Amino acid sequence: MAEELLKLENIYKNFGNVKVLKDVNIKINKGEVVALIGDNGAGKSTLIKVITGVHSPNSGKVFFKEEEVQIKSVAQSRKMGIEAVYQERALCDQQELFRNIFAGREITNSFGFLDIKKQRKEAEKILRDYIGFTSKAITVDSPVMGLSGGEKQGVAFGRSLYFNSDLIVLDEPTMGLSIQETEKVLNFVKGLKNENKSAIFIDHNIIHVYGAADRFIILDRGEVVGEFNKEDISREELVQKMIQLHESGKIKVED
Amino acid sequence: MSSLLNSYFVKTHKLEISITIIAIVLFLIYFLGAPHVFTRFPIYRAFMQSMPFFGIIAISATFVVTLGEIDLSFPSIVGITSLIFGIIMTSTDGNFFIAFILATSLGMFAGLVNGLLVTKIGIPSIVATIGTLFFWRGLVNVISQGSGIAIVDVADGTWHHMIFVEKLFGKIPMQFIWFIVLTGLMQWVYRYHKFGNHIHFVGDNKASAQMMGINVDNVKIIAFVQLGFFSALAGIFTMYEMLYFWPTQGEGLMLTTLAAVFVGGTSVFGGKGTIFGTFIGVLIIGSLESGIVALGLSGFYVKFINGLMITVAVTVYALIQRRKN
């Protein structure tokens, strides 16, 4: 029996009168990559923002490592071991790489002054060991703005590995990337399993999702409408399900 | 030469180097055009005397501008805190500590109000601080009923007067020493403290900063609060220099202060800036008036050249920025 890492129970989230999440129940095990799929507005992004502490749910319970938790902030979810790699690419363009890697959890002395030397050294390690940057044009002092989409994504990944998170949340990690860069990202996701890390993976491209994930959770208008293990469904069947959902608003569940 | 131009320091400090060169050129023009003034000490003493009053605020305002925000209310915060300082000094027979603590606390409170209006209520800072600009000045007028306060009896000759504005070795005005010390300290905070780091990230991209776990609202509020504090401090310096409070105190500061920040190279779009640049900006803006007059141009040119400097500077920086993107 796989060990449970994260469990959401009866999660509801409203923005004003709009019910974005309705009674969502999901579970993620250690070493498992779960894909969240669904149309725009299905609630995928909101769901992961609940997990990473950007939004608080209106009701429902969250369990992490089998303990009930209330995730109130990004800082807290990070401390617990949840790390997000966002679609908006949470990096600030004009700031140097090493500052970006440590933003929000700077290495400081007790007066709050940064240990620049250590941050640069550690950032260099991340670039070299986790991301495999070898280009001389990119150093820890380069502003993020000069990086390609894939390189930015790489920095975000490297950051999550360095901070040794248990659960990595990937929001559209292949969006806007070249084929080569997409390949790198997918390999990275597959590599997570070897380290017994878990991931939640959102992507519009079912082909990408199918290759990288172990399990698929389909969201539609704020509800979980289907859940499949990879061994139980072929790629074509999954695509069929999505088309069906798109056309009829329902998924036919056959046992 | 080319290796020098390509060195790491030059690459990362283009802005600081350009602004320094501009300042050197400007002072060369003064020097060559009016040697009888600029080869003698008094003009520099006058600069050192007058620049810190707006310079201290400009350094502090650099944090707010780097956030991509603006504060237009500081001239009135100077006014209200100076008034309170004057009232307490005269009514306590010169109790410096009480007057200092109350005046700076009020400054921080005024900054807090700005910060809350911007973050919690969601009013754009340019609008919110126009409101508080009028509010605090209005309060000054109501309380003072339009009359000034002399603190000469309770301040002149005291140790606090000495450490604030008297001359070191009979030559260097103390306020300039303070200004240099504060500039160094703030530069350190700006680049090497967590708070300064967060200022850059919030100004660069608020949404990203939030996702990286930075408390955007708190960073903004603290930025406005520290500007309130330094506005009060600048007011107190002015009080010691003049030994008098007048109800329009601070009103002339708005343009020179913000001009120094923008000429110094801090990005109007947020996310990038330099305290050193602001310091040089203060030297440039603070010297223009005397420089222009010493060169033999009439005083009517001062605003014109001031305006030209600011417009050209922000245009050039915006173009540099656009090329980078």
pLDDT at B187 over 90: yes
- Taking the alpha carbons at both ends of chain A, their separation in whole angstroms is 22
| B271 vs A: CB within 8 A | yes
Nearest CB partner across the interface for B201, out of A89, A92, A105: A92
Set of chain B residues whose Cβ sits within 8 Å of the Cβ of A111 = 193
The answer to whether the Cβ–Cβ distance between B201 and A91 falls below 8 Å is: no
Which of B198, B199, B212 to mutate to probe the A interface, most A CBs <10 Å? B212
Q: Where are the domains of chain A?
A: 4-91+166-248
Q: Give CA separation, B298 vs B293, B294, B302, in Å.
A: 6, 9, 8
- Of A57-66, A120-129, B43-52, which gets the smallest average pLDDT? A120-129
The CA R_g of chain A, rounded to the nearest whole Å, is: 19
Closest A-chain CA to B215: A104
| B211 vs A: CB within 8 A | yes
The residue among B317 and B196 whose pLDDT is bigger is B196
Which of A46, A78, A94 to mutate to probe the B interface, most B CBs <10 Å? A94
- What is B16-324's CATH number, 1.10.150, 1.10.10, 1.10.3860, 1.10.3470? 1.10.3470
- Which residues fall within 8 angstroms of residue A252, CB to CB, at 6 or more apart? A244
The residue among B43, B47, B44, B45 whose CA lies nearest residue B55 is B47
Mean pLDDT of chain A: 83
pLDDT for res A93: 86
The answer to whether the Cβ–Cβ distance between B210 and A54 falls below 8 Å is: yes
Query: What's at A198, amino acid-wise?
Result: S
pLDDT tens column, B46-89: 999 999 999 999 999 999 999 999 999 999 999 999 999 999 99
| B200 vs A: CB within 8 A | yes
Rounded Cα–Cα distance for residues B234 and B183 (Å): 13
What dihedral do alpha carbons B48, B50, B54, B55 form, nearest 10°? -10
DSSP state of B125: H
- Determine the average pLDDT of the residues in B3-18: 72
Q: Give the percent of chain B with pLDDT over 90.
A: 63
> pTM of the predicted model, to two decimals?
0.84
pLDDT for res B2: 55
pLDDT at A77 over 80: yes
CA distance A231 to chain B (A): 35
CB atoms inside a 10 Å sphere around CB A95: 23
The answer to whether the Cβ–Cβ distance between B272 and A114 falls below 8 Å is: no
| B185 vs A: CB within 8 A | no
pLDDT tens column, B210-265: 888 899 999 999 999 999 999 999 999 999 999 999 999 999 899 899 999 999 98
Return the structure tokens found at A91.
Answer: 């990096």
pLDDT at A125 over 80: yes
| B320 vs A: CB within 8 A | no
The residue among A41 and B82 whose pLDDT is bigger is B82
- Determine the average pLDDT of the residues in B278-300: 90
The CATH number that domain A4-91+166-248 falls under is 3.40.50.300
Nearest CB partner across the interface for A112, out of B194, B209, B213: B194
pLDDT at B325 over 80: no
The answer to whether the Cβ–Cβ distance between A74 and B204 falls below 8 Å is: no
CB B217 within 8 A of CB B119: yes
| A206 vs B: CB within 8 A | no
pLDDT for res A187: 79
Nearest CB partner across the interface for B324, out of A75, A89, A145: A145
Nearest CB partner across the interface for A94, out of B12, B207, B271: B271
Return the structure tokens found at B13.
Answer: 């400090």
CB B86 within 8 A of CB B141: no
Tell me which H or E stretch contains A244: helix A235-248
The residue among B277 and A74 whose pLDDT is bigger is B277
Closest A-chain CA to B188: A113
pLDDT for res A87: 58
| A103 vs B: CB within 8 A | yes
pLDDT for res A127: 81
pLDDT at A217 over 80: yes
| B201 vs A: CB within 8 A | yes
| A107 vs B: CB within 8 A | no
Nearest CB partner across the interface for B197, out of A54, A106, A145: A106
ipTM surpasses cut 0.90? no
pLDDT for res B84: 96
Closest A-chain CA to B212: A104
pLDDT tens column, A84-116: 887 556 788 888 888 988 888 888 888 889 888
pLDDT for res A88: 53
**Inter-chain contacts counted by CB atoms under 8 A, chains A and B:** 78
Please report which confidence band the pLDDT of residue B277 belongs to, taking 50, 70 and 90 as the band edges.
very high
The answer to whether the Cβ–Cβ distance between A103 and B188 falls below 8 Å is: no
The residue among B72, B47, B44 whose CA lies nearest residue B57 is B72
Set of chain A residues whose Cβ sits within 8 Å of the Cβ of B184 = none
pLDDT for res B229: 98
pLDDT for res B97: 93
Please report which confidence band the pLDDT of residue A255 belongs to, taking 50, 70 and 90 as the band edges.
very low
Rounded Cα–Cα distance for residues B100 and B110 (Å): 15
Q: Where are the domains of chain B?
A: 16-324
Nearest CB partner across the interface for B194, out of A84, A114, A145: A114
- Determine the average pLDDT of the residues in B122-134: 95
pLDDT tens column, A126-143: 887 776 666 667 788 888
Nearest CB partner across the interface for B213, out of A74, A112, A141: A74
Best mean pLDDT range from A20-34, A81-95, B223-237, B302-316: B223-237
